[in-house]
Structure 1
Amino acid sequence: MKLKDKVVLITGGGTGIGTAIAERFVAEGAKICISGRRQEMLDKVARSLLAGTIATCPGDVTKVKDVKRMVETALTFGGRLDVVVNNAGIDPGGTVTDVAVELWRQVIEINLTGPFLVMKEAIPHMIKGGGGSIINISSLGGLRCLPGMAAYCSSKAALIMLTKQAALDYGPFKVRCNAVCP
């Protein structure tokens, strides 16, 4: 149990990669708080994991009030916040000329602004607690272009740079920031 009693907030924890991340953290002994837009999906994940190790907090990472509630839920549940996994994201296709402006904005809001808002809210608590770890789920699409994925690749490349900037700014305060690119 490498992460016994560590407190972890996972955005986009109700499906896919987020659920797998939640399962792994619980298996390693962590207490987790998962967030996502659909409570029924969060409840399904919570039922499948060990009772007492998980809290749920529905919300939208693009809304400041929801992000504040997510972080507060994790703090209340675990007494501190050790790790944040910014996993919430969408990956619609479209070339620059094909993608609708509103879809472009939605991708940037969820994939880039969401992690920014979560980090902005969580990092001060981590510093106060002596440090922590931010894990931003980016993509190979953030490292190289993928055909027909203009908004997605742009958002994930920007997330990598945001992660590097946060690592530079908050490393001295013992807050590690890393991007994972599946």
Structure 2
Amino acid sequence: MSLALLVTWLKFVHVATIAGWSAGLIALPFLYRQRRGLEGQPLYRLHAFTRFLYVALVSPTAFAAIASGTALILLQGTYENWFSAKLVGVSVLTGVHIFSGLLILRLFEPDGVYPLGRFILILTVTLSAIAAILVLVLGKPDIEWPTVLARFFAPGALSELAGQIIGVTK
């Protein structure tokens, strides 16, 4: 298989899994809101479905999205400023994903609640991160970082920072 064909397939997988991951992260808060007032068997069914969605569908899709994106980075060597900004958006989605997993553990306890304010906040953060990623990937804007951030996002900066932390120098 040629490199160009491999990159094309990886991009297809990456876009599909990002779409699935995003859809799952958007759907979960709506399921959490249905928790209000449920008891007994209906609560158990909602909990089972929510856990299934998170564990069997959303989490593997997130893993595939991040893995395929990482492979694309390695194959294409994308080191543009818009790409660094996109990774910030992906890290926000990752944070929302982790928060959702922790929430599922607590929400379905007998006294679990999911207030409207939290619903609006999480949905706004999720949709904003998805929109920002789309704008950055489709527009590929020419972004100039302030000097402090430019050094942080430069290729090899993580290696230098890690070397300083663990005491290894080049």
TM-score, normalised to structure 2's length?
Answer: 0.31
Structure showing the higher helix proportion among its residues: 2
In our comparison, the structure showing a higher alpha carbon Rg is 2
* TM-score, normalised via structure 1 length: 0.29
Larger strand percent: 1
